[in-house]
């Protein structure tokens, strides 16, 4: 019954202050939308960056040969360390913490031909494990390079999705032959499209992948371009890298502390950086949105002060008839919370509409797709509740502390 009476008073006051109420509601709506949308777009941008980063591979390390910079056991500086296929087997055998590993050959400007299409592209020789390490998967109806291809030195090729479009257009590629440097290769698969913003030899969508054994016999290569490996546990990546230097230093006679002898790209370092960066970025967005919402809360507080002024005589009558301070206090806090949560509800619905409509603009590849999560909703509700409570408390306290006699004279 008390709440019903409070609602009646609330509606009466709002009708008498239509313009001020609408402006106050707009402040809350704008503030709520700012909090929700900023956090939603921040989360979407983080998810898109992680997705693009994992297009290169998740938790992998790329290893290249380098030049020694320290003398070691009679050997001078400046010796070139060239990696070979057997180095990958050695690392896998000696370092139990390594999960997947694959040698990678690379041949730039290979001539690819299909009918009238002629292209110069990068052809790489890899092992079957390379696909999983680099998040390269086949479209339905095709497959990646497998172990039998490797053992039998088959002339098969797996091509990137954009390379497929350039060679075949709308025509089906799997099962057709393409000519690579005057040698026919059977297309066994086309890469499923993926987001990738990092690379070391170009995007995978533009490459042709053949078995490493076929590559070695075709081009007569002895040295690898690089070795890709992934620790079983990402937390052990530093330990694994140190052991790589020790194993390779023993094999090629260089100081294991010579970091110039080998070069490594540890993608987990980039992941850690992005994790901390977006944590700070989203916190910054949340602070901006919260301050915007506080401005709306100030507007609510102002209108409640006006309401107290206009209802001073009514408050005096209630208190003279036996109304307690807590009743007056609760009434005005209740009305403040109603205004706050009506504005917050409208603001949240508006944010939800923006999030639903945004994918239609096809901008997800650049800024990600905004995501409103359950935790995000709780944060917004919590901020609204705190602001509503503080906005209403001081006008309500002022009303509750009025002297009944003085209030009746107003």
Instruction: Report residue 182's pLDDT band, with 50, 70 and 90 as the boundaries.
Output: very high
pTM: 0.76
- Residue spans per domain, the chain: 2-53+272-409, 61-267
pLDDT tens digits, 122-163: 999 999 999 999 999 999 999 999 999 999 999 999 999 999
Neighbouring C-beta atoms of residue 116, cutoff 10 Å:
5
DSSP per-residue letters across 244-293: HHHHHHHHHT--TT-TTSEEEEEHHHHHHHHHHHHHHHHHHHHHHHHHHH
Cα Rg of the chain, angstroms: 33
Report how far apart, in Å, the C-alpha atoms of 13 and of each of 18, 118, 236, 314 are: 9, 77, 65, 12
1 pLDDT higher than 60: no
pLDDT category at 66 given cuts 50, 70, 90 is very high
pLDDT at 21 over 60: yes
Q: Which of 48, 54, 33 is nearest to 343 (CA)?
A: 33
Task: Pick left, alpha or beta for residue 181 (phi over 0 → left; psi -120 to 50 → alpha; otherwise beta).
Answer: left
Q: What is the structure's pLDDT at 13? A: 60
């Amino acid at each position: 019954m008390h709440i019903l009476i409070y609602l009646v008073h609330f509606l009466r006051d709002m009708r008498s202050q239509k313009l001020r109420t609408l402006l106050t509601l707009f402040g809350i709506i704008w503030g709520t939308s700012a909090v929700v949308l900023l956090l939603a777009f921040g989360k979407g941008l983080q998810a898109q960056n992680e997705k693009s980063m994992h297009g290169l591979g998740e938790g992998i390390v790329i290893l290249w040969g380098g030049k020694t910079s320290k003398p070691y056991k009679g050997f001078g500086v400046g010796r070139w360390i060239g990696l070979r296929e057997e180095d990958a087997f050695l690392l896998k055998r000696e370092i139990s913490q390594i999960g997947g590993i694959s040698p990678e050959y690379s041949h730039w400007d290979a001539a690819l031909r299909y009918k009238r299409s002629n292209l110069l592209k990068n052809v790489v020789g890899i092992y079957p494990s390379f696909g999983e390490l680099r998040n390269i998967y086949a479209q339905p109806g095709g497959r990646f390079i497998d172990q039998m291809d490797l053992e039998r030195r088959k002339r098969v090729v797996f091509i990137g999705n954009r390379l497929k479009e350039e060679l075949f257009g709308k025509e089906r590629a799997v099962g057709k032959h393409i000519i690579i440097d005057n040698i026919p290769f059977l297309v066994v698969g086309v890469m499923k499209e993926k987001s990738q913003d990092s690379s070391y030899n170009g995007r995978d969508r533009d490459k042709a992948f053949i078995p490493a054994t076929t590559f070695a016999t075709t081009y007569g290569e002895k040295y690898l371009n690089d070795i890709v490996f992934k620790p079983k546990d990402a937390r052990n990546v530093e330990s694994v890298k140190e052991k790589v230097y020790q194993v390779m230093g023993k094999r090629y006679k260089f100081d294991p502390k010579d970091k110039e002898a080998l070069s490594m790209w540890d993608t987990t370092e980039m992941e850690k950086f992005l994790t901390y960066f977006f944590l700070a970025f989203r916190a910054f967005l949340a602070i901006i949105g919260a301050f915007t919402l506080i401005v709306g809360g100030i507007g609510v507080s102002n209108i409640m002060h006006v309401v107290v002024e206009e209802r001073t005589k009514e408050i005096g009558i209630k208190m003279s008839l036996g109304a307690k301070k807590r009743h007056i206090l609760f009434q005005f806090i209740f009305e403040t919370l109603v205004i706050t949560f009506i504005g917050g509800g409208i603001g949240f619905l508006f944010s939800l509409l923006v999030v639903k409509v945004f994918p239609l603009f096809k901008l997800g590849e650049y800024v990600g797709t905004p995501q409103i999560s359950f935790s995000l909703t709780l944060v917004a509700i919590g901020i609204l509740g705190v602001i509503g409570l503080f906005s209403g408390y001081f006008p309500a306290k002022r009303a509750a502390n009025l002297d009944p006699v003085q209030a009746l004279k107003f």
